[in-house]
Amino acid sequence: MRRRKEISFKSAAILCAVSVILPCSAVAIYQMWDYIKIVVLIVLGVLVLLGLILATAFVLRYAFRAESPSPRANGARSETEPLPKVTTVGLSEQLPTSVKYEQVRDAIPVGHGLLGVSANGVETCELKQFMTTLISGGSNSGKSNTVSLKIDEMVREGRDIQLLVIDWHARKEDSLYNRIRCYESRFLRPVAIEEEETLDALKWFYAEFKRRLQMGNAGDNDILLVVDEIPSMMDAEDEEIPKMLKLVARKCGREARGFGMYGFFILQQMIGFAWLRNVVHTVLAHKSGRMNEAMVACNEHPDIARDMENWPKGRVCVYGQNFEGVKVLQVPLFKPSGAEGNLSADTQKTATPF
């Protein structure tokens, strides 16, 4: 009975307090209502303004990303970061559609390699910038022509270069191997066609690199690894092949070049190969059929990607670690002749050290 009285007393006290506070609060709110409305309106106005600012920033950010090149940070790049892209040089309507190598060969300075032909004429760079290169493009876009031309330029410079060739489609009539087999006297071993041969070639290259590294010199000759059909190799049944290929590619782009060992890496598709694009010195991207492939191939430059659909055979966009921007050029048609391409004893140039 005593406990019930205590509860009743507490309830009565609470009820009395509420009966006093609520009317007082109502009177205070009534008296200050005009001020409260002003505060509420100010808060709502600030929230609306912040929403507009955030929405504008979001739209501008993605519009800039779609239309403008991304800057390259100094130092190492991530796997997905694009290579540098700036002003485009030479769009399709300004370039010749057909050029023969013989027409421009004499305009290439000693120690330089041909980038291609622009509206301004012949464009070259130091030959060493081609020594580790990614060459991409769809079927019949001119990749084999570009590879054979670059090999011929190295030979013409008088370099004692030997080739290690991997081409899983070597038996096809239009294979890369058949395009460069005139240099077969420079092959270190027969072209690798099967998985076992491929793995042996990659392991040999890596072992030779380690040997030269331990010796501390570049050896008596340069070695150029030429690898075609890379996407197929990444899907090989032998899981050691893609691992070894990645290891060798990274060595070619970073350490092996200091010991006279380089690589040409050829593929049709660029999507999924950011790791390879980021270790080479130069990218030569030929025509790609699909827009998403073209965007990756041209380093996410939308004008070039749209233009790429109409490119003739041999048209390339060129960019890389030692280039100021992206160039669109026409690679001349090159036809190897004889046992050493277009090389003859009286046309050899003095070798220029890398």
Q: What is the pLDDT of residues 36-47, one digit of tens each?
A: 767 777 877 777
Rounded-to-integer distance, Cα 11 and Cα 243, Å:
79
Residue percentage of the chain with pLDDT more than 70: 75
> Which residue intervals of 68-194 are DSSP H helices?
101-104, 143-156, 176-180
Please give the class, per CATH, of domain 88-344: alpha beta
Which of 14-28, 145-159, 177-191, 232-246 has the weakest average pLDDT? 14-28
Q: Taking the alpha carbons of 150, 182, 336, 191 in that order, is the dihedral positive or negative?
A: negative
- Alpha carbon distance 332, 307 (integer Å): 19
Torsion 326-327-328-334 (CA) sign: negative
User: Is it the case that residue 185 has pLDDT exceeding 70?
Assistant: yes
pLDDT value, residue 137: 93
Give me 13's structure tokens: 């006290």
Distance of CA 148 to the CA centre of its chain: 22
State pLDDT tens for residues 201-230.
999 999 999 999 998 877 778 999 999 989
| pLDDT tens for each residue of 2-37 | 444 455 666 666 766 656 666 666 666 666 666 676
With the CA atoms of 295, 228, 328 and 312 taken in that order, what torsion angle do they form, in degrees rounded to the nearest 10?
A: -90
Would you list the domain boundaries of the chain? 1-68, 88-344
Mean pLDDT of 255-261: 85
How does pLDDT run across 295-312, given as a tens digit for each residue? 999 888 899 999 898 899
